[in-house]
Structure 1
Amino acid sequence: MAGLGGRIDRLGDRIETVEDRLNARLPPSLKVGLGVLYWYSTRTSARFDAVADRPAVRRWSDLAIATLLVLQVGTLALVTVAAGNALGREPTALNDPVNTVAIPGVNDFMPLASTPYVVLALVVATVVHEGGHALACRAEGVPVEEWGVALLLGVVPLAGYVLPDDALDEADARTRMRVFALGVQHNLVVTVATGAILLSSLTASPTAAFLTYFGWAATGGAAPTAAAVAALGPLTNACFWLVLLNANVGLLNALPIGPLDGGRVLSESLAAVADRTGYGRSSRLRTTAVYATSGVVVALLVLAVVGPYL
C-alpha cells in the first residue's frame, strides 16, 4: 500500500509540474488544472459595485434566503416522491443513467441539433448563478479574488465560478447565507422570465416543446430529430432550455447536500438555531447532521434514477 501511495504522490507531482509549465506559457487570463482550462479575471467593475452598494440588494438577498429554505423543503419532498414512484416501475429512457449527463448527442433528450440552445442555457444558468454570488459578496463587502469559466479539456463548458476572498469565512452567518442563497434566486428569476416568454404568443406551445423533447419517452416513440427541433423555431428552443436548465440548476443547488448552496445554508441555519437556543453548538454535531442529510438526499436521487432497475 505504501508503494502504491508513493506512486500516486509521484504522479501527482509530475502532473503539477506539467501544469506549472503550461500555466507559465499561457496568457494571464488562462490557467489549467486537472484537465480543466480556466478562463478567468481578477478585475472588478465600478458599475457592478455601484449596483451592489444599493440597500435593496441586501433585502433581495434576505428574500433569497427565505426562498432557498422553502425550496429545500419542496425539492426534498419531490425527490422523495420520485424515488418512491421509481420503485416497481418499468425502466424508460428517463431512467437511463446516460441521460443524466447534459451532453447533446449523448443524452437522448438532447439531439445534436439542440446543441446551441443547450450550451446557451447552460452558460446563462451558470453565469446568472455565479453572478448572484458575486453580487452578494460585493454588497457585503467581501472581495472577489477571481471569477471565470471552467472548460473541460479546454472546450466543454463545465461551469462559471466565483472565488470569494477568505473574508467570507470570517463573516457572520447572515452574510454567508446571503452569498450562498442569491445564486439560486437568480436562476429562478430567469426561469420565470423565460417561462413567461414561452407562454406568450411569440413562441410555439410549451406543451409542444416538452412533447418534442421528452414526450416520446412516455409513449415509447422515437427520440427528437433535427427536423422536429427546427420545427419549434429558435425562440421556442432557446426559451425551453433556458427554463429547464435554470430551474434544474436552481433546484439542484437548493437541495440540502453539503457542498451545494443548500447544504451550506442548512449548516449556517443549524448554527444560528444553536446560537439562539444553546443546543447543538458543537460544530462536529452540525457537520454530522449536514452530511447525514446529504447522504439521504443523494441516496434518494440515485434511487429515483435506478429504482426501476431494482
Structure 2
Amino acid sequence: MNTLQWILLGILAYTAAAMWLRNRGYLPDAVRVSGPLTTIHTKRGRALLDRLAGPKRLWRAVANVGVGAALVIMAGMFVLLVANAVSIVANPPAPTGINTPQNVLIIPGVNEFLPLTVAAEIVVGLLVALVVHEGAHGLLCRVEGIEIDSMGVALLTLIPIGAFVEPDEESTKEVDRGGRTRMFAAGVTANFVVVALAFALLFGPVAGAISVAPGAAVGGTYPGSPAADAGIGAGDRIVALEGEPVANASDLSERLETTDAETVAVELSDGTTTEVERELLVTSVAETSPFAAPSNGSGGGAGDGASAAGVSVNDTVVAVDGTAVRTEGGLREAIAAADDPVVTLETADGETVTAPAGALVAVAEEGPFQAAGAPAGDHLVVTSVDGERVVDNDDLTAALDAREPGEEVTVQAYRTAGDGEGGYEWTNYAVELGTHEEDGGAFLGIFATPGVSGVSVDSLGMTGYPADYYLSLLSGEAGGGLLGTLLLVTVLPFLAVVDPSIQYNFAGFVGSNSAFYEVTGPLSALGDGGVFLAANLLFWTGWINLQLAIFNCVPAFPLDGGRILRTATEAVVSRLPVEARPALTRSITVSVGLTMLVALLVMLFGPQVLS
C-alpha cells in the first residue's frame, strides 16, 4: 500500500478504538471523541485571561482591524478556491507533491516538504500558532463579557491539529453582533501579529547576521558525473580551482568555460583537493531542441523531424563532427570552427545526432522578429547575426547588446524542412531591432533557451545550491516588495515544485545547506548553530502562523471564516425587507460552506481521481 492508504487505515483503526472506548464509558469527561477527532477540555487559564482583558478599548481596536483584514482574505479565499476547483475539473493536472493529500498535513516526515531535521522547530511553531490563536479568542471573550465554558486542544487521532476556546452559548447570544465578530476574528488577528513579529526579526537582525560563505555551493551531483567520481557531493563548497579562489557558482562556471584543461584540481572548503577528469555531461535538454532524443519530446518548431537518435540528460557528449571535446570551451570552439551550422554530436554510447547548433528561441507573437517574417510561436535555431556566428544563447545576447534599437540586422535561423526526414532549411531575416521596455536595449522579440540549441552541458556534473537567493529572500532584499517576499517565503518549503528552475527547496538552515552560510557581526557570539536555530524557529513560526491564519479565513463552518460569514450575513440580511431572515441567513452560510467543502475536496483529491 502507498503512504496515503496506510494513513487512512491508521485513522480508521484509531476511530474504531476511540469510539469503542467512548461507548463503553472508559474515557474521562474531559476527553470527547467524534470520529477521528478528539478534544481535550480544561477550565484552567480563565483567571489569566480576565487579567489580560483589562485594556478593553485597545483590544477592541486591534480586533476591528483584524475583522477588516479577515473579510478581505475571506473573499479572496472564496474566489481562489472556487477558481482552482473549476480549473482542476476542466483540466485535471497530473498529481504532484503539492496536491497529494498527505502533504496537506503539517507533520514532519509524513509531509515530504517538512523534513524531520526541523521537526522540533515545526512543533514549536505549531504550538505557538495554536496557543496564540485560541488564546486570542479567549481574551476577546472576556473583553466582550462572554463566559468561557472550557479550553483545550483538538487532535486528529493523536496529532494536534488545533486548540479551542469554548464560549458559553447563553452569554454569547447576549453580546451584540460586533462583539461576536471581533471574538471570531481574534485568532486570525493574533496569528498575523505573530507573523509580523517573526518575520521582522528574521528579515532584520537574524538574517542580517548570516552571510553566504565563499565558494560554489554544491547542491548535488549527477550520478556517474566527473564530480561524483571525484567524491564531490551535496554540502561541499568548491573554494578554489587550479589553486585560484572561487567566489561563487557563477565564477566557477566562467572559469570552467575559459579553461581548456581536461583535468582540473578542485579544492573544497574542508581543505581537501581532488583531481577531476572533465567530461561534457548533458544536464538539461529542452523539449523543442533539435538534438533532443525522442523521450524528451520534440514539441514542434525546430525539433520536428529530428532524427531518431538524440541526446538526453546524463548523456556525455564526446565529439562534434568527429572532433573530440571534453570541456565547455572545447565544445564551443568545435561548433564555431565547423564549416556548416548543422553539426553532428556524438555521445559516449556511440549515438550520433545531426542538427543546427545555435541559440534555440521561440518567436514572440508580436515583435521585430515576427514582423520580419519569422513564424510566431515557432521554435527556431539562430545561428548568426550579421554573419557573426552564434553558438548559444549567450552569444545571441552579446550580439544584441552590441547593437542599438532601430538598427537593421540580418538574422540567420534554421527550422525543420518539413520533409519528415529530419532535414533543416535556413532563412535570413532582415530585422529592425526594437527597444526593450526595461533597459532600453535592442529587442528582437524572442524567448531564448539556455545552452547550445537548448542543450546544456557541465564538465563537472554538479548542480549549484542557490544559497545567495534564499538568503536574499529571508533578509527581505528580494521578492519585489513586502507582499511578493511574503508570497515567496510561503512557498519556500516546496519552491522547486512551484518554480522548476530552482532545483532545491528550503526548509531552513539545516542539513548540508548549513555549510553554505556563516555568521558574522555581534550575533556571532551565539555561534553558527545558535543563530541558525533562531532563524529556523522564526521561519517556521512565521510560516505556520501564516498558513493557519489564511486557512481559518476560509468561509466555512467551523472555521473562523465561517463564523464571521454568519455574523456578516446576519448584519446584511437584517436590513433586507424579508420575513424569514434566519432561514435566509442559514441558506447563504450553508451554501457557501458546502461550496468551500467541495472546492477543498476537489483540490485535494481531484488530481488523483480525475487525471
Match of 1:171 in 2: 175
Residue 99 (structure 1) aligned with residue 103 (structure 2): yes
Q: Could you tell me how far apart the structure 2 residues matched to 1:109 and 1:289 are?
A: 37
Q: Is the 8 A contact 1:76 1:255 kept in 2?
A: yes
1:184, distance to aligned residue in structure 2 (A): 0.7
Residue 213 (structure 1) aligned with residue 215 (structure 2): no
Match of 2:565 in 1: 266
Aligned length: 291
1:6-45 matched pairs, under 5 angstroms: 15-16=21-22, 18=24, 20-23=25-28, 31-34=30-33, 36=38, 38=40, 40-45=42-47
* One of 227, 242, 245 as aligned partner of 2:511: 227
Q: Is the 8 A contact 1:147 1:163 kept in 2?
A: yes
* One of 133, 143, 150 as aligned partner of 1:139: 143
Q: Could you tell me how far apart the structure 1 residues matched to 2:19 and 2:123 are?
A: 34
Partner AA of 2:183 in structure 1: V
- Partner SS state of residue 153, structure 2: strand
| Deviation per residue, 1:63-83 (Å, 9 max, x gap) | 222221111122223334544
Q: Is the 8 A contact 1:111 1:224 kept in 2?
A: no
- Partner SS state of residue 53, structure 1: coil
* One of 101, 104, 117 as aligned partner of 1:113: 117
Distance 1:238 1:14, change over 3 A: closer
1:140, distance to aligned residue in structure 2 (A): 0.8
- Partner SS state of residue 112, structure 2: coil
1:211, distance to aligned residue in structure 2 (A): 7.7
1:294-309 matched pairs, under 5 angstroms: 294-309=593-608
Q: Could you tell me how far apart the structure 2 residues matched to 1:151 and 1:270 are?
A: 30
Match of 1:7 in 2: none
Distance 1:302 1:13, change over 3 A: closer
Q: Could you tell me how far apart the structure 2 residues matched to 1:212 and 1:56 are?
A: 35
Larger mean CA deviation between 92-101 and 35-44 belongs to 35-44
1:57, distance to aligned residue in structure 2 (A): 1.4
Residue 161 (structure 1) aligned with residue 161 (structure 2): no
- Partner SS state of residue 276, structure 1: coil
Partner AA of 2:28 in structure 1: N
Distance 1:152 1:262, change over 3 A: closer
Distance 1:303 1:202, change over 3 A: same
Q: Could you tell me how far apart the structure 1 residues matched to 2:100 and 2:119 are?
A: 20
Q: Could you tell me how far apart the structure 2 residues matched to 1:206 and 1:80 are?
A: 34
Match of 1:28 in 2: none
Match of 1:58 in 2: 60
Cα-Cα RMSD: 3.1
Q: Is the 8 A contact 2:495 2:506 kept in 1?
A: no
Q: Is the 8 A contact 1:40 1:149 kept in 2?
A: no
Larger mean CA deviation between 246-255 and 203-212 belongs to 203-212
Q: Is the 8 A contact 2:573 2:585 kept in 1?
A: no
Larger mean CA deviation between 55-64 and 219-228 belongs to 219-228
Partner AA of 1:266 in structure 2: L
Q: Is the 8 A contact 2:73 2:550 kept in 1?
A: yes
| Deviation per residue, 1:200-227 (Å, 9 max, x gap) | 2413627477786312334395777961
1:230, distance to aligned residue in structure 2 (A): 5.5
- Partner SS state of residue 45, structure 1: helix
Structure 1: which 5+ runs fail to align? 1-10, 25-30
Match of 2:191 in 1: 187
Query: Relative contact order: is structure 1 or structure 2 higher (C-alpha 8 Å, sep ≥ 6)?
Result: 1
Q: Could you tell me how far apart the structure 2 residues matched to 1:138 and 1:217 are?
A: 45
| Deviation per residue, 1:103-145 (Å, 9 max, x gap) | 1111001111121111111111111110111111000111112
Of Structure 1 and Structure 2, the greater helix share is in: 1
- Partner SS state of residue 200, structure 2: helix
| Deviation per residue, 1:273-307 (Å, 9 max, x gap) | 12223347432221121111112222223333445
Match of 2:152 in 1: 148
Partner AA of 1:250 in structure 2: A
Q: Could you tell me how far apart the structure 1 residues matched to 2:179 and 2:85 are?
A: 34
Larger mean CA deviation between 281-290 and 108-117 belongs to 281-290
Partner AA of 2:495 in structure 1: G
Match of 2:71 in 1: 69
* One of 555, 559, 562 as aligned partner of 1:256: 555
- Partner SS state of residue 160, structure 1: strand
Residue 49 (structure 1) aligned with residue 50 (structure 2): yes
Match of 2:538 in 1: 239
| Deviation per residue, 1:19-38 (Å, 9 max, x gap) | x44428xxxxxx33337462
Partner AA of 2:552 in structure 1: N
Q: Could you tell me how far apart the structure 1 residues matched to 2:153 and 2:571 are?
A: 33
Q: Is the 8 A contact 1:198 1:206 kept in 2?
A: no
TM-score, normalising length: structure 2: 0.43
Structure 2: which 5+ runs fail to align? 1-16, 211-470, 475-488, 518-531
Q: Could you tell me how far apart the structure 2 residues matched to 1:291 and 1:84 are?
A: 20
1:179, distance to aligned residue in structure 2 (A): 1.0
Q: Is the 8 A contact 2:556 2:597 kept in 1?
A: yes
Larger mean CA deviation between 36-45 and 224-233 belongs to 224-233
Q: Is the 8 A contact 1:274 1:280 kept in 2?
A: no
Q: Could you tell me how far apart the structure 1 residues matched to 2:472 and 2:604 are?
A: 25
Distance 1:172 1:123, change over 3 A: same
Q: Is the 8 A contact 1:72 1:254 kept in 2?
A: yes
1:17, distance to aligned residue in structure 2 (A): 5.4
Partner AA of 2:541 in structure 1: L
1:252, distance to aligned residue in structure 2 (A): 1.1
| Deviation per residue, 1:164-210 (Å, 9 max, x gap) | 11211343222211111111111111111112222224136274777
Larger radius of gyration, structure 1 or 2? 2
Residue 126 (structure 1) aligned with residue 125 (structure 2): no
